[in-house]
Chain A
Amino acid sequence: MLAKRIIPCLDIKDGQTVKGTNFVNLRQAGDPVELGKAYSEQGADELVYLDITASHEGRKTFTDLVKRIAAHINIPFTVGGGINELSDVDRLLNAGADKLSINSSAIRNPKLVDDIAKHFGSQVCVVAIDARNTASGWKCYLNGGRVETDRYLYEWAKEVNERGAGEILFTSMDHDGVKTGYANEALAHLSDTLDIPVIASGGAGKMEHFKDAFTLGKADAALAASVFHFGEIPIMKLKEYLHEEGISVRL
């Protein structure tokens, strides 16, 4: 049976891991390759590395880091951040990344999704969506949550699904960093209406939150950062718990 996936997310700035709370106040949390290896040995199913450096030099540092990750990590990994055109995709895939995550650039230029799918295959194209529940419904945000758009989560997710995305990584900005659980209702709606896997992100604080994301939220994978980085939830313990709760995981 296909296992539900547990995915630690590592935010990278200038070649180092950081994690923000509600997207600000960054704290240091270790060497990306060492951390990735440790997660892989603890039972992580995939890794996500997000480059939050914006500068040109930073991008080169990140590409070199992707090569080191590919050489040392024996599970799949996704990279994101600063991917604006096909040449960025080509560069990161050639450095050894398995999948690319695009976010703001997809909203600015939706055809990028079609192009990535056509040139490299849907399986490499993860579309990340940051959204917040507003009075008029779930709205999408740009630039790490700083800029509101006129796009709505469900319509946008459906559109990128049709354009050829291979997966949706949905972060609820209302839940991110506050550790009270994932946005399960919105997740379940996405899972019920899309043909592609949905990764839950934002809100993990306790092991039960992962169970809820898989059962109530019907997510295919759950992503988290700080609960793993600071050792609050050991991955192996989490997977044993999920297994006991009747959820299919890779042990």
Chain B
Amino acid sequence: MNVAIIKYNAGNIFSVDYALKRIGITPVITSDKETLLKADKVIFPGVGEAETTMRYLKEQNLDTLIKNLKQPVLGICLGMQLMCRYSEEGNTDCLGIFDTEVKRFCPENHHDKVPHMGWNTIDNTVSPLFKGFDKSEYVYFVHSYYVPLNDFTAAQTNYILPYSSALHKDNFYATQFHPEKSGKTGERILRNFIEL
């Protein structure tokens, strides 16, 4: 199994590398286009800010490459948000794989903290990523922007409002949470993706 992690100017790519190694997969971390095109699976991680990251992807021509990948692709956190059409973070036009926008959480009081940080449940899971899930499971989130419920919603989470904690369309999969930091549940999700 040939798994590639897209290397770009985002933080914490190493966490995904470590998590895959814990389940017995040694990925390559690369921005080399040939290697990415030939990989069996591609992971698009991300911790950072939308506008800066999107600009970097365009400069490297990685934007076109990612959109046109044919193998299973998994976007994580900012990676998922960048796969959408537009983000309110920095008024950024994104990749447009999922025709939906990314909005900022608007808390109504001091008890709805932003960022949404910590362990929350995912429900209504409808994607092979969640194969074998028979109850709501806790996963780890850290984010201030969210994707509303839409046609591609593959899991939903309630925080301030119900929103999309995972998306799926054709060969593109994405999670708002961090499977690489979500204990055994996260490892199952990564394994499900690898086994697609």
Residues of A within 8 A of B (CB): 1-3, 5, 40, 45, 70-72, 74-76, 93-94, 96, 98, 120-124, 166-167, 191-197, 218, 220-221, 250
Selected contact of A96 from candidates B14, B22, B107, B110, CB within 8 Å? B14
B19 within 8 A of A: yes
Which B residue's beta carbon lies closest to that of A95? B14
Which B residue's beta carbon lies closest to that of A76? B181
Residues of B within 8 A of A (CB): 11-12, 14-15, 18-19, 21-22, 47-49, 107, 110-111, 113-121, 138, 140, 142-144, 158-159, 178, 180-184, 186-187
Known: A5-B118, A71-B18, A93-B12. A123 touches B113 (CB 8 A): no
Which B residue's beta carbon lies closest to that of A45? B119
Q: How far is the CA of A250 from the CA of B120 in the complex (A)?
A: 8
Complex A-B: 22 CB contacts under 8 Å: A2-B116, A3-B138, A71-B21, A74-B22, A74-B184, A75-B183, A76-B181, A93-B12, A96-B12, A96-B15, A96-B18, A121-B11, A122-B115, A122-B144, A123-B144, A191-B110, A195-B107, A195-B113, A196-B113, A197-B118, A220-B118, A221-B118
Selected contact of A74 from candidates B121, B159, B181, CB within 8 Å? B181
Selected contact of B187 from candidates A74, A167, A191, A250, CB within 8 Å? A74
Q: How far is the CA of A166 from the CA of B113 in the complex (A)?
A: 10
Q: A74-B22, A94-B14, A123-B47 are in contact. List 8 more A-B contacts (CB 8 A).
A: A45-B118, A70-B14, A74-B184, A76-B178, A121-B47, A194-B110, A197-B117, A250-B119
Q: How far is the CA of A122 from the CA of B117 in the complex (A)?
A: 11
Q: How far is the CB of B3 from chain A (nearest CB, A)?
A: 17
Q: How far is the CA of A240 from the CA of B30 in the complex (A)?
A: 43
- Which residues in A have their C-beta under 8 angstroms from that of B120? 1-3
Q: How far is the CA of A76 from the CA of B139 in the complex (A)?
A: 11
Q: How far is the CA of A3 from the CA of B183 in the complex (A)?
A: 15
B110 and A193: CB pair below 8 A?
A: yes
- Which residues in B have their C-beta under 8 angstroms from that of A70? 14-15, 18
- Which residues in A have their C-beta under 8 angstroms from that of B158? 1
A1 and B22: CB pair below 8 A?
A: no
A166 and B115: CB pair below 8 A?
A: yes
Q: How far is the CA of A72 from the CA of B118 in the complex (A)?
A: 20
Which B residue's beta carbon lies closest to that of A197? B113
- Which residues in B have their C-beta under 8 angstroms from that of A98? 12, 15, 181
Q: How far is the CA of A166 from the CA of B159 in the complex (A)?
A: 17
- Which residues in A have their C-beta under 8 angstroms from that of B159? 2
Q: How far is the CB of B146 from chain A (nearest CB, A)?
A: 13
- Which residues in B have their C-beta under 8 angstroms from that of A5? 118-119
Which A residue's beta carbon lies closest to that of B116? A2
- Which residues in B have their C-beta under 8 angstroms from that of A72? 22
- Which residues in A have their C-beta under 8 angstroms from that of B18? 70-71, 96
Q: How far is the CA of A218 from the CA of B180 in the complex (A)?
A: 29
- Which residues in B have their C-beta under 8 angstroms from that of A74? 19, 22, 180-184, 186-187
- Which residues in B have their C-beta under 8 angstroms from that of A122? 115, 144
A123 and B22: CB pair below 8 A?
A: no
Selected contact of A121 from candidates B48, B116, B121, CB within 8 Å? B48
Which B residue's beta carbon lies closest to that of A77? B181
Q: How far is the CA of A2 from the CA of B111 in the complex (A)?
A: 11
Selected contact of B119 from candidates A3, A121, A194, CB within 8 Å? A3
- Which residues in B have their C-beta under 8 angstroms from that of A1? 120-121, 158
